[in-house]
Amino acid sequence: MTIVAIITARSGSKSVPNKNIRKLGGIPLLGWVVKALNKSKFVEKIILSTDSEEYFKIAKSFNGEIILHKRTPELAEDVPSEQVLLDVAKKFETLFDEESIIVLIQPTTPFITGKDIDSCIDMLIKNPEINSCISVKQVSEYPEWMITQIDDRKDIGTCIDLSGDVNVRQNLKKRWISNGGIWVVRRSFLQKMKKIVDNNSTLVYEMSKLRSIDIDENDDLIICDALVNSGILLEDCQVFLGNRFKETTNLKTNIILITYERKKKKLEKTKDSK
């Protein structure tokens, strides 16, 4: 059984130009996920599927053994990930066998770690009857609470009866949504069904909401940058940023100390004047 990771990173993002190589903590998003894959004990090969030579050079700077899958013009458009994975499996057929596991990684969920990736893979290996495992976060906005727009009206919607038990979160079943970071699938299932997720039974690996941020807009990037600089994601950021993280957190600590000293002096001055 071979385990191959495929990073999908096309250059034609519309919402955030060159989104996949935008920097977070001084490191391109693409670099974050390559570093995470470098920490995996299961992944044997890493393939970057892209239409950009620049993206490939950036990825190679974090792992010199990354393999390039150059996308055709058709695959460089907005196409389902399944199409890309199937093309990779076809062009690099010698890397796969019947029991191969494919790990799809997307750079726009930068806070995944090697531990997260290995946990997803391990879950699938230990459950041979299941075909896929994905990283998720728990939802806080339940489908039961959704309001659906009526026809062409912008101000009228329909919803279920929100009175009674359905309005109490504790009475509703736990639900998850993919955080977009990790998708693990058996190659045989992908080839046969032409899809990644088995809708009948899929393993879920739950991650915290903070580490599940999926960068889709500029605001998401701002939030992620603030998280990195805040030190909230201490362990994860230290792994990726190294000395740069220490410099950042030291700067943050100094700012806090300076602010504290100023407030302390101000309070002492106020007391003395009374």
Confidence of residue 260 (pLDDT cuts 50, 70, 90): very low
- Mutual orientation of helices 114-125 and 29-38 as an angle, nearest 10°? 50
| Residue predicted with more confidence, 53 or 238 | 53
The pLDDT of residue 249: 43
The pLDDT of residue 25: 87
What structural domains and CATH numbers belong to the chain? 3-139+175-216 (3.90.550.10), 142-173 (no CATH)
Strands 176-186 and 101-105: antiparallel
In sequence order, the β-bridge partners of residue 68 are: 48
- What's the rounded Cα separation, in Å, for the pair 6 and 45? 8
- What's the rounded Cα separation, in Å, for the pair 177 and 267? 49
Q: Is the dihedral of CA 80, 22, 119, 140 positive or negative?
A: negative
The pLDDT of residue 199: 84
The pLDDT of residue 234: 57
% the chain with pLDDT above 70 = 76
Q: Is the pLDDT of residue 166 over 70?
A: no
Please write the tens of the pLDDT for every residue from 118-150: 999 999 999 999 999 999 998 777 666 566 777
Contacts of 172 (CB under 8 A, 6+ apart): 142, 144, 166
Place of tokens 């106020």: 270
Q: Is the pLDDT of residue 256 over 50?
A: no
Give the lowest-confidence range in 106-110, 177-181, 254-258: 254-258
Both structure tokens of 153: 């009206």
| Residue predicted with more confidence, 250 or 88 | 88
Give the lowest-confidence range in 32-36, 55-59, 221-225, 235-239: 235-239
Contacts of 49 (CB under 8 A, 6+ apart): 6, 7, 8, 9, 10, 69, 71, 75, 84, 87, 88
Please write the tens of the pLDDT for every residue from 15-35: 788 999 999 989 999 999 999
* Average pLDDT for the chain: 83
Q: Is the dihedral of CA 49, 54, 57, 58 positive or negative?
A: negative
Closest CA to 182 of 93, 99, 115, 86: 115
Give the lowest-confidence range in 83-87, 159-163, 223-227, 229-233: 159-163
Which DSSP string corresponds to 45-72?
Answer: EEEEEES-HHHHHHHHHH-TTPEEEEPP
Question: How far apart, in Å, do the first and last CA atoms of the chain sit?
Answer: 77
The pLDDT of residue 162: 55
The pLDDT of residue 201: 83
The pLDDT of residue 246: 46
Q: Is the pLDDT of residue 46 over 90?
A: yes
